[in-house]
Amino acid sequence: MSDAQANEAEKNIEIWKVKKLIKRLEAARGNGTSMISLIIPPKDQVSRAAKMLAEEYGTASNIKSRVNRQSVLSAITSTQQRLKLYNKVPPNGLVVYCGEILTSEGKERRVNIDFEPFRPINTSLYLCDNKFHTEALAELLEDDQKFGFIIMDGNGALFGTLSGNTRDVIHKFSVDLPKKHGRGGQSALRFARLREEKRHNYVRKVAELAVQNFITTDKVNVAGIILAGSADFKNDLNQSDLFDNRLATKVIKVVDVSYGGENGFNQAIELSAETLSNVKFIQEKKLIGKYFEEISQDTGRICYGVEDTLKALELGAVEILIVFENLEINRWVLKDSNGVQTTLHTTKKTEASNREQFMDKETGQEMEVVSSESFLEWIAEKYRDFGTTLEFVSDRSSEGNQFVKGFGGIGGLLRYKVNFEQLAEVDDDDDYYDGMLQFDALASGEEPTPVEPSSQILSHRPGAVQQTTPAQPASAGVGLRGNTGNTRPSPLRLLPNICLGFSRSESQQAHKPRTKQSNHVPLKPPFTFMITGSEEPDNYTHLNCDKAALGCFDKEKYEYQPAIGIPDVFEAVQSGKAELGVVPFENSTNGAVIFTLELLADRHDLYKDVTICGEAYLDVSHCLLGYVSKADSPVMSGTCTPTTSTPSPVKPKTTPRSSLNHIQRIYTHPQAYGQCEAFLGTYLKGVERLDASSTSKAAEIVKADKTGTSAAIASSLAADVHGLDILAKGIEDREDNTTRFLVLRKGVDTSATKVNVAAKSMITFTIDHRTPGALADVLDCFRRYQVNLTSINSRPTKVVPFQYIFFVEFEGSKLSDPGGKVAGALDSLEKYTKNWRWLGSWEDKLVDRKNLFAINRPLISSTHTRKSSLQSILHKELTARQPNIIYDYLTPTPSHLLNISLEDFIPPSCYPANFTGSGSALPYASIRGRDECSDTSLLPQSHHLVYFSPRISNNALLPDGTDPFQSPGPPFVRCMWSGGSVSFNTTSEKQLRLDNMRAACIERIVDVSVKGNEGDEKVFVNVERRVCIADFGDDPHTNPDEESGAIASGKYSGNDQHSMADQRLLRHYHVDNNDNIGRASLVESRNLVFMRQAVLPAKGYLDRPRKILKPTREPDFDVRRTPSRSLLFRFSALTFNAHLIHLDPQHCRDIEGHRNLLLHGPLSLVLMLSVLRSQLRPGEMIKKFNYRNLAPLYVDEELRVCVWKNTNGNSKYEVWIEGKEGGYAVKGSAVVGPLDI
């Protein structure tokens, strides 16, 4: 389906939803004037509507009736709340309905509805009434393309319109025109004159009525006009001067019809179908006409009725779903006494007349109603999940009326033929249980009895509907059992080759043979559950069940039971009938089993409790079975014929035992073909390949082919069971051809968690496929935490075309994660996925199977060597990162807001020169050249910290909210500020001023070191931030005229121009080895320490003893203050800092092991420099400041900022901060000096 068709289908569904909404709103009534209707057109403002509602609220407050006043005020408040959800009016406008309506029981119920219409609504409306006003919505349903019809014949004329799916007769009249022969007594001339006069009057009347019907306020109200008739009247009208020229220009088609009146109207619509192809009415007639054509040709590619249509939908067979727009069917989900849910579809008539369908057959009581909703609303929301297109039709056309009355108003056009009789008949066939008994005998060690071909049976459980992917109908299929004459592959072969399930025995005894049961009695524990694919004992599951899965479990504790399909395994595990289930997941040669992925996708939340708890591996060896030809000798060379396309073909690893020249067709399960390509391409190239539901079924078909020209790929046991010859053995391409099975259970078995065991996990997720790099962002979550991925698969979401559900399997367990890697990776998924689900964690059996533990052995034996290697790697990687250049304008606002934030936490003597308190106005930006010598024009020292914020999107932040540019990556996921330094340029011209100048911060990593023991390493990252004036004049290394000319000519894009500016900046402010500051205004060094995730529990970590180092001298000046949460929040906002240790107390306690929120490292620096500034003499400034963070500072705990002047030198100070215990928290030293003018 094209994008245009998809958009049209979506529009039709939106129209239907609006119709349903209008119907409900019109039926709603309330008390008084408590129902608000608000419509805001596209170009209007939300603020205007909000202001109007505020005024209305004030007016309504004066209503005398308390009940009415409260209802109106409540409705206005609800409307105001709805408006707050919108920053601006959506492109198509905004519609809001709020109020309290009366239910059929006389109770009041609140209604709040807001939505953007499917097309622009140009009406502005606000009404507070006892009903909702929907007139403007009804106008939306009027189709833009309305066409007029004029039908004329000798008996009269009809005027009609066609718009959307609505055909209306707006006027008709009859005439009595003279026939060709006159009455007696009249001359022929007189009769001809009278006849011509009446015909003229007839045409004139039609022309006059055409103006009345098709012109409104001097404008033609139709997009086109079709003239139709059985004689020349239509042509006379079209050529007459009486026909208004405005209408004449709108005539788009003139057609001959055999009838007049409404029959002629219908015929005219059909004959104009090509011209009116975009009209919904015509599209509807064509669609239902195609449906009836499929019926008449008996193609079998249609379905009708709710139940058959739902089965076809679950099979993925419905290409177009056709539903009557007013279909009155309810969908019930009921639960019986055993907790088993049943879906029921009823009409109002059957609900009242047949209550037995609501009864629990075991208890005789009515079943619990889990949910009840309109079937139409359910299918309108869910149809995409079935991979179909939904079309609503009306009963206004004859075809639509026939579809509604004759076929129940629901049906579909199918992609392929579906045999619904076999879907129904399978419920009455006992051969399914014969197959189960065959497996019981095999599992008990008895010789299996060969299964003879039986009547046609489709493996379909009563009440269950199989699912499939139309693109790969045989990827996991069940076919018709016993129909040996049917060589055409069935589209209903849906299930893969092998699937096994388990149910714990209550007696925990060995499995006992079962008697045959009635197929109407559901299976219950302790019966064994689930081998899917085929009940035949020669199937690979039965042949190798002990090897594949049963060997993984204690046979004394479990009973084993076959199941027909993989869905049966999932259903049994979800319902609790089976404790464990085993399903095939992938083959080492041919890849994933698509049908298992489809069920793991669980688009309908049918298996929300099913998780993966284990895996098993099975070696698979294939044989070619058939009848030996006596006429030919075997071909034993084993060579392949080179071709132009394949000059060096792959040579198979085996040769035929006999000649294969007589083989004309091959049967097997689709998965097996991909595992035997080399053999088939060598000895059976060009031979027809036909799909079978299983390898055993393939052998059964070959056995029935008495011509001997068919062959099957199956097991050696199948040859014995069906009496076939083995034509070739071991024909698989690889010796290690292996199938992997997943073990399923309901819920999570946390008691089975194993520590120090190699494990795997799997998640499923969806992303916004329109976002560039969305999938890479998700996968990067695992890279950052050093989690290795082992497989990635995908399936369509069936919601939006080309949007996928992804399955990612990775090493590690969510249930046993001492290093926190898996938890860290999973926690970060929320930012990058639309939704995700953990499917389970289990022991990695591939490690045991292939003895691959050597992969995890460390490559470096020496701890010192390992640390040195780590430091070398990190130093090379981090220091090689490109400089991060951040531009900013030095406006007074951020500095002023910082002053206001600190006002209550430092004394006035510590305020900078341009601030006297929060009552002071925002300073004006200084004027360059005039205010350069003023202290108030200078950026206060340390205030550069609230400029040059990181330009990082929310999704790019690390899980703890920190900047990824500075991070070494997992497993070092915790970041702390350990100290740093800042050097200020003392030259007057290099000072940063609040004059709106453009400045830049060049940030780069200059050094990396690793300290600590193995497993507890800490990575110290030294970040240099060089702050400078961005507009520094001409660059001697570039020709400004050439550069300007290139930009003006369009040679460089915007990105190129930014890159050129960055390069000029880096050249101008290169590092000066003689003077670290160079031309920069200041150079800040930040020492950050990155640590592994805390392993100790939060409680023990908080209670650990802390070393307190107390100062040895008393300060000359000190300030005592208690930082508050609001201060931390304001500083985080000013610095654009999202680090959770300053914002989230739970993160501090549970992840970082701190008792409360931590003070920012930069905030500590600001406090120290502010207090130090108060002790400087006029004209002095801070030249250099070094500091180290020794202990954390916590919110709501008193701290003390201390300053001591070194008596040995007038230019040196010591500055430190003490925590509440009186010990060093931050320790610093400063060098001061005069500003060089």
- pLDDT per position as a tens digit, 1041-1050: 555 555 445 5
Q: For the residues 214-229, what does the mean pLDDT come to?
A: 88
Look at residue 158 in the predicted model and tell me its pLDDT.
94
Same structural domain, 1117 and 1020: yes
Sheet holding 835-843, edge to edge: 789-796, 804-811, 759-766, 835-843
Asked if residue 445 and residue 373 are part of one domain, the reply reads no
The reply to whether 869 falls in a domain is no
Most confident of 114-118, 730-734, 1217-1221: 1217-1221
Strand 1199-1205, strand 1117-1121: pairing: antiparallel
What mean pLDDT is predicted for residues 891-902? 93
Q: Which CATH number does the domain housing residue 103 bear?
A: 3.30.960.10
What's residue 564's pLDDT? 64
Does residue 673 share a domain with residue 770? no
Residue-level pLDDT at 496: 29
For the segment 75-125, what is each residue's pLDDT rounded down to a tens digit?
A: 898 898 888 888 889 988 999 999 888 887 778 888 888 888 888 888 888
Q: Which two tokens stand for residue 664?
A: 């004309």
Residue 744 lies in a domain: no
Residues 153 and 135 in one domain: no
Domain identity same for 1146 and 1097: yes
Q: Is the pLDDT of residue 153 over 80?
A: yes
Dihedral sign for Cα 210, 212, 214, 219, please. Answer: positive
Q: Quick one: how far is CA 375 from the chain centroid?
A: 25
What are the tens digits of pLDDT across the range 400-442?
Answer: 888 888 788 899 999 888 877 666 554 444 333 333 333 333 3
Contact 29, 101 (CB under 8 A): yes
Task: Supply the CATH number for residue 305's domain.
Answer: 3.30.1330.30
Q: What pLDDT is recorded for position 468? A: 33
Q: Indicate if the pLDDT at residue 1170 is higher than 90.
A: yes
According to DSSP, the β-strands at 224-229 and 146-153 are parallel
Q: What is the pLDDT of residue 632?
A: 54
Query: Mean of the pLDDT values across residues 654-676?
Result: 87
- Of residues 207, 238, 230, the one with CA closest to residue 153: 230
* Cut 0.75: pTM above it: no
> Is the confidence at residue 379, as pLDDT, over 70?
yes
pLDDT of residue 913: 85
Q: Return d(Cα 1192, Cα 51) in angstroms, integer.
A: 49
Instruction: Lowest mean pLDDT of 829-843, 933-947, 1058-1072, name the range.
Output: 1058-1072
- Is residue 807 pLDDT above 70, yes or no? yes
Q: What is the mean pLDDT of residues 545-566?
A: 55
Q: What is the mean pLDDT of residues 1133-1159?
A: 90
Binned at pLDDT 50, 70 and 90, residue 182 comes out as low
Residues 110 and 175 grouped into a single domain: no
Which of 693, 711, 735 is the last residue in one of the domains? 735
CB 719 within 8 A of CB 726: yes
Residue 562 clears pLDDT 70, i.e. is over it: no
Backbone angles phi, psi at 1181, to 5 degrees: -145, 165
- Residues with Cβ within 8 Å of residue 631, at least 6 apart in sequence: 659, 662
Task: Give me the pLDDT at residue 1038, please.
Answer: 52
Which of 798 and 1118 is assigned the larger pLDDT? 1118
DSSP track, 808-869? EEEES-SSS-TT-HHHHHHHGGGGT-SEEEEEEEEE-HHHHHHT-GGGGS-S---HHHHHHH
* Range of weakest confidence among 77-91, 528-542, 728-742: 528-542
Lowest mean pLDDT across 322-336, 487-501, 964-978, 1068-1082: 487-501
Model confidence band, residue 1160 (pLDDT cutoffs 50, 70, 90): very high
User: Is the pLDDT assigned to residue 149 strictly greater than 70?
Assistant: yes
What pLDDT shows up at residue 915?
87
Same domain, 1131 and 1205: yes
Indicate the residue type of 445: G
Residue 863 lies in a domain: no
**Which helix or strand (DSSP H or E) is residue 623 part of?**
strand 623-626
Both 890 and 793 in one domain: the answer is no
For range 826-854, the mean pLDDT = 77
Q: Which of 633-642, 1002-1011, 1065-1074 shows the lowest mean pLDDT across its residues?
A: 633-642
> Which of the residue ranges 306-315, 523-532, 1045-1054 has the most confident prediction, judged by mean pLDDT?
306-315
> Which pLDDT score, from 0 to 100, does residue 934 have?
62
Residue 389 has pLDDT above 60, yes or no: yes
Q: How far is CA 415 from CA 288, 576, 737, 959, in A?
A: 16, 35, 34, 47
The more confidently predicted of residues 295 and 485 is 295
More confident: 486 or 1194: 1194
Do 269 and 303 sit in the same domain of this protein? no
pLDDT tier at 947 (50, 70, 90 boundaries)? Answer: very high
Asked if the structure places residue 1059 within a domain, the reply is: no
Q: 809-828, pLDDT tens digit by residue?
A: 999 999 888 888 899 999 99
Of 233, 260, 277, the last residue of a domain is 277
The domain that holds 1188 is classified in CATH as 3.10.129.10
Q: What is the dihedral of CA 16, 20, 21, 27, to 10 degrees?
A: 160
pLDDT class of 1055 with cuts at 50, 70, 90: low
pLDDT for position 2: 54
- Label the pairing between strands 330-335 and 368-374: antiparallel
Instruction: Determine which of 365-374, 532-541, 689-698 has the lowest per-residue pLDDT on average.
Output: 532-541
Residue 444 confidence (pLDDT) above 80: no
pLDDT tier at 853, thresholds 50, 70, 90: very low
Q: Report the pLDDT value the prediction gives residue 605, as an integer from 0 to 100.
A: 86
Query: Which pLDDT belongs to residue 497?
Result: 31
Q: Please give the pLDDT value at position 457.
A: 26
DSSP 8-state symbol, 1150: I
Same domain assignment for residues 611 and 669: no
Q: What is the mean pLDDT of residues 788-809?
A: 89
Domain of residue 922, residue span: 884-1032+1079-1234
Show the beta-strand stretches assigned E in 268-388.
Answer: 302-304, 318-324, 330-335, 341-346, 368-374
Q: Residue 877: inside a domain, yes or no?
A: no
Instruction: Please give the share of the chain, as a percent, with pLDDT higher than 70.
Output: 77
| Mean pLDDT for the stretch of residues 719-741 | 86
pLDDT at 1095: 61
pLDDT category of residue 1187 using cuts at 50, 70 and 90: very high
Please tell me the predicted confidence (pLDDT) of residue 1189.
92
- Candidate from 596-600, 1126-1130, 1147-1151 with smallest mean pLDDT: 1147-1151
Residue 920 lies in a domain: yes
pLDDT tens string 1190-1214: 999 999 999 999 999 987 767 899 9
Averaged confidence pLDDT in the chain? 78
* In a domain? residue 861: no
The residue among 768, 668, 651 whose CA lies nearest residue 713 is 668
Domain co-membership, 688 together with 766: no
pLDDT at 241: 86
Mean pLDDT along residues 359-385? 84
Q: Which two tokens stand for residue 1180?
A: 């002095």
Of the pLDDT bands very low, low, confident and very high (cuts 50, 70, 90), residue 928 is low
Close Cβ partners of 872 (under 8 Å, ≥ 6 residues apart): none
Q: Which of 239-248, 743-752, 763-772, 799-808 has the lowest mean pLDDT?
A: 743-752
The CATH number linked to 712 is 3.40.190.10
pLDDT grade for 563, boundaries at 50, 70 and 90: low
pLDDT in the model for residue 1128: 94
The whole-number average pLDDT for the span 185-213 is: 84
Interatomic CA distance for residues 912 and 906, integer angstroms: 11
Q: Per the structure, how many domains does the chain have?
A: 7
Average pLDDT of 750-773?
Answer: 81
> Is a pLDDT exceeding 50 seen at residue 458?
no
Residue 392 corresponds to which tokens in the numbers above? 């609503």
Which alpha helices (H) appear in 412-504, and where do they start and end? 420-425, 431-443
State residue 860's pLDDT score: 33
pLDDT greater at residue 879 or residue 1038: 879
Q: Give me the mean pLDDT over the 722-730 stretch.
A: 90
Residues 498 and 628 in one domain: no
pLDDT at 932: 54
**Is residue 764 over pLDDT 80?**
yes
CATH, residue 790? 3.30.70.260
